[in-house]
Chain A
Amino acid sequence: QVQLQESGPGLVKPSQTLSLTCTVSGDSISSGDYYWNWIRRPPGKGLEWIGYVHFSGKTYYNPSLQGRALFSFDTSKNQFSLRLNPVSAADTAVYYCARGPDCSAGNCYDPFFDSWGQGTLVTVSS
């Protein structure tokens, strides 16, 4: 059974960089069968998909992030990461990592998410 766990600082100062890592167990991020995603939920608001990274190097970033996000992965540690820079108070949210199936089989146009981490709260404040 796949498990995902987010980690990273819980407090980031405005204009600095938010960095989070998702550690995956029970599946290999290099299998190529899945997209590896980041999703967030600001307090009092709904879920917002940030985007995905695929083992092939393919990435997609939600235009709402205005080019501030960057994904990477480390296959030796079976981890993938998010960097968001610069941040503001509007980036305060619970951040989730999630697995989504590769859509090349025709079962989706964009990913849906069959496994999620528990989420980590990141507060942007001075």
Chain B
Amino acid sequence: NVLTQSPGTLSLSPGERATLSCRASHSVFSNFLAWYQHRPGQSPRLLIQGASSRATGIPDRFSGGGSGTHFTLTISTLEPEDSALYYCQQYGSSPNTFGQGTKLEIK
């Protein structure tokens, strides 16, 4: 199941809202879709699993939505530390696959 993320790069200012898209080539079984944040020099961090459930310790300004073949990650109020690569992953079929990533830049 091929995942395509858009846009490739997003440049926004602190306080703005970011919406990242992840489209699957086939419907994702049971909406088993996760989002990860990867800051330079750090380990990737799980943000969302099951398309919309925040992982432990993730602030509520991160929210996931969508179903089937189209999913979104929304960051409601951007902070400077949100600058990172964001990946989606489907785990509803094997082998699980990742999108190519969206780079979020905070101006």
Residues of A in contact with B (beta carbons under 8 Å apart): 4, 45-49, 51, 60, 62-64, 96, 98, 107-119
B49 partner residues in chain A, CB cutoff 8 A: 107, 112, 114
Residues of B in contact with A (beta carbons under 8 Å apart): 29-30, 32, 34, 36, 41-46, 49-50, 55, 87, 89, 91-101
A111 partner residues in chain B, CB cutoff 8 A: 91, 96
Task: Assess whether B42 is in contact with A63, with CB atoms less than 8 Å apart.
Answer: no
Tell me the dominant secondary structure on chain A's binding face. Answer: loop
Q: Which of B30, B36, B91 has the most CB of A within 10 A?
A: B91
Task: Assess whether B42 is in contact with A118, with CB atoms less than 8 Å apart.
Answer: yes
Name the CB-closest residue of A to B98.
A47
**What is the minimal beta-carbon distance from A27 to any residue of chain B, in angstroms?**
14
A46-B99, A49-B98 given as contacts; is B32 within 8 A of A109 (CB)?
yes
| A32 vs B32: C-alpha distance when bound (angstroms) | 22
A118 partner residues in chain B, CB cutoff 8 A: 41-43
Q: For A64, give its contact among B29, B41, B43, B95 (CB under 8 Å).
A: B95
Tell me the dominant secondary structure on chain B's binding face. Answer: loop
B44 partner residues in chain A, CB cutoff 8 A: 96, 98, 113, 116
A116-B43, A116-B44, A119-B43 given as contacts; is B87 within 8 A of A110 (CB)?
no
- Starting from the known contacts A108-B32, A117-B43, 12 additional A-B residue pairs (CB-CB under 8 Å) come to A49-B97, A107-B50, A109-B32, A109-B91, A110-B32, A110-B95, A110-B96, A112-B32, A113-B34, A113-B36, A114-B46, A118-B43
**What is the minimal beta-carbon distance from A20 to any residue of chain B, in angstroms?**
15
Q: For B93, give its contact among A46, A62, A109, A115 (CB under 8 Å).
A: A109
Q: For A60, give its contact among B30, B41, B91, B94 (CB under 8 Å).
A: B94
B55 partner residues in chain A, CB cutoff 8 A: 114
Name the CB-closest residue of B to A61.
B95
Task: Assess whether A109 is in contact with B43, with CB atoms less than 8 Å apart.
Answer: no
Task: Assess whether A112 is in contact with B30, with CB atoms less than 8 Å apart.
Answer: no
A-B contact pairs, 29 of them (CB 8 A): A4-B43, A45-B100, A46-B100, A47-B89, A47-B98, A48-B98, A49-B97, A51-B95, A60-B94, A63-B95, A108-B91, A109-B30, A109-B92, A109-B93, A109-B94, A110-B32, A110-B95, A111-B96, A112-B32, A112-B34, A112-B89, A115-B46, A116-B43, A116-B44, A116-B45, A117-B43, A118-B41, A118-B42, A119-B43
